[in-house]
Amino acid sequence: MAPLPKFPDGFLWGASTSSYQIEGAAREDGRGTSIWDTFSHQPGRTQGGETGDVACDHYHRWPEDVALLADAGLGAYRFSIAWPRIQPTGSGPAEVRGLDFYDRLVDGLAERGITPMPTLFHWDLPQPLEDAGGWLNRETAYRFAEYAELVAARIGDRVASWITLNEPFIHMALGYGLGIHAPGRTLGLEALPVAHHQLLGHGLAAAALHQRGLNVMIANNYAPVWTAGTTDADVAAAHFYNALHNELFTDPLLLGRYPDALAEAAQGELGGIVRDGDLKAIAEPLDCLGVNYYNPTRVGHGEPSPENGGMPFTLHPIDGYPVTAFGWPIVPDGLRELLVGLRARYGAALPPIYITENGCSTDDVPDADGRVHDAARVDYLDSHLRALHQAVQEGVDVRGYFIWSLMDNFEWAEGFGQRFGLVRVDFDTLERTPKDSYHWLRDALAHRG
């Protein structure tokens, strides 16, 4: 395979994970219940009824996982902090044993020269907050800022860069709109207040982190939107979907307003809840923008109906591309397309970018020696890095790239069925085995000097 092109000096190479997907130890050291504990234990919610009770047992095996990062030559680690470990009921004083865990992790990373990049919220909301309305309730935004402050007070002396929320669009859409993720609500477009309250929580937490002189970003999921047909109705549907998926969580941050295409919704679902001063709080300056990219989305006209949650669009398959084990189309140039598109839309308002997630699931089967030949992942990463390099050549300021994921983990509604890791995890023995992609990455990074 040809060597990877050269990325700018100081470019950060990392891997990403999240708390509920890897930690396990669900009832240890005072950890409270999260919406994912509740949801995954309900019949029929996850494949095979699987849960994150044990997951990768990272809570106990983290030194081994930090060693895997270091041996790969990765310079950064994006992990998330489990809010219910810090505030078991979602408010009140910190559970010190929870903070101790992340304190040890941060020190362990520092010993190996790895930059920590924590995400404060990767979907595991404390259940008592959900019982009070979750992100439909404005109060959750204030609780989030208080929680951010508790964590920063403890590890902010060693952690310079912070991510507030992971993929607020996916959390709103799958968690509150369609019921595929926790908390399992099926509100359709009536889930829109979840967007505003997450954005407000982000802004308030960002201000608290800035008070401490820390850098702040958010990790958004972006999908280039491709129009399914050529009719005006198709174009309008794609325009609306683009506003919902891509602009809703970026325009308020960078432009201080909601996208025009959502004006009607802004009058309706958002009308009563956006208060004076909210947009100013949300537009707290971002130091960097986190971009998670998996694939484009093809969208055409659709009649709103109760069955589709009142959505004025239909999602169409993207044919003609290879797919991952998940069935997601592999479109490396989509990464370039979205980055160039972000720069075109936001211009000077666009801060430097980190790719905070990119990767694929593969049907890994270990051979007789236990080795995992995940050539499809190597191809995926190689092709996406070339597309990323092209975007950098075209002038997009990208500072780093984080692979999803360091290791196989609990893939939400898919249980342990989809494997995204550079490292295989045997979920019976919890043994870790670096895959071929891990060795490929280590060699590629070593050759860069």
User: Any contact of residue 404 with ligand BGC (CB under 6 A)?
Assistant: yes
Please report how close the Cβ of residue 376 comes to ligand BGC at its closest, in angstroms: 15
User: Any contact of residue 55 with ligand BGC (CB under 6 A)?
Assistant: no
Please report how close the Cβ of residue 391 comes to ligand BGC at its closest, in angstroms: 20
Active site residue 167: yes
User: Any contact of residue 408 with ligand BGC (CB under 6 A)?
Assistant: no
User: Any contact of residue 198 with ligand BGC (CB under 6 A)?
Assistant: no
Please report how close the Cβ of residue 123 comes to ligand BGC at its closest, in angstroms: 7
In the complex with ligand BGC, the residue whose CB is nearer, 21 or 227, is 21
When binding is defined by CB under 6 A, the residue of 66, 170, 194, 279 that contacts ligand BGC is 170
Catalytic: which of 167, 247, 269, 411?
167
Region binding ligand BGC by CB under 6 A among candidate stretches 129-137, 151-159, 163-171, 197-205: 163-171
Active site residue 357: yes
Return d(Cα 123, Cα 84) in angstroms, integer: 11
Q: Are 301 and 236 in contact (CB under 8 A)?
A: yes
User: Any contact of residue 23 with ligand BGC (CB under 6 A)?
Assistant: no
Region binding ligand BGC by CB under 6 A among candidate stretches 48-56, 146-154, 166-174, 187-195: 166-174
In the complex with ligand BGC, the residue whose CB is nearer, 300 or 400, is 400
Region binding ligand BGC by CB under 6 A among candidate stretches 44-52, 164-172, 266-274, 375-383: 164-172
In the complex with ligand BGC, the residue whose CB is nearer, 83 or 404, is 404
Return d(Cα 222, Cα 125) in angstroms, integer: 22
Please report how close the Cβ of residue 404 comes to ligand BGC at its closest, in angstroms: 5
User: Any contact of residue 46 with ligand BGC (CB under 6 A)?
Assistant: no
Please report how close the Cβ of residue 357 comes to ligand BGC at its closest, in angstroms: 6
In the complex with ligand BGC, the residue whose CB is nearer, 167 or 364, is 167
User: Any contact of residue 167 with ligand BGC (CB under 6 A)?
Assistant: yes
Largest CA distance in the chain: 64
* Residues designated as active site: 167, 357
